[in-house]
Amino acid sequence: MNGTIAQLVQLCEANAGQQAVWDGNLISKSDRDVLVKAGWVVRCAGYNMPTLEGQKVYGVLKLGEEALKLSEEKETSPSLRIMGEDEEMLDA
């Protein structure tokens, strides 16, 4: 995860508890500045909070993580496969 996304995650997860993050507790002020410029974070009196747009982006990131987990679980779980006409069934 790159620094800018990590900064957005920190702010959104803090915001889930209805908390703003003070500048001194940020992962990176330069990454925060990128998020402010993108309109995903708002600053006030040394505190930082995600905007609605930033929260939407965070939601999409979380959905992507969940989809990836489901995909990995599906790949590692045993599955049934329909045999082709030219395949023989082997005795176990």
pTM exceeds 0.75: no
- Return d(Cα 10, Cα 54) in angstroms, integer: 12
- Give the domain ranges of the chain: 3-56
pLDDT digits (tens, 9 = 90+) for 22-78: 999 999 999 999 999 999 999 999 999 999 999 999 999 888 888 888 877 776 656
Q: Residue 73: what are its φ and ψ, rounded to 5°?
A: -65, -40
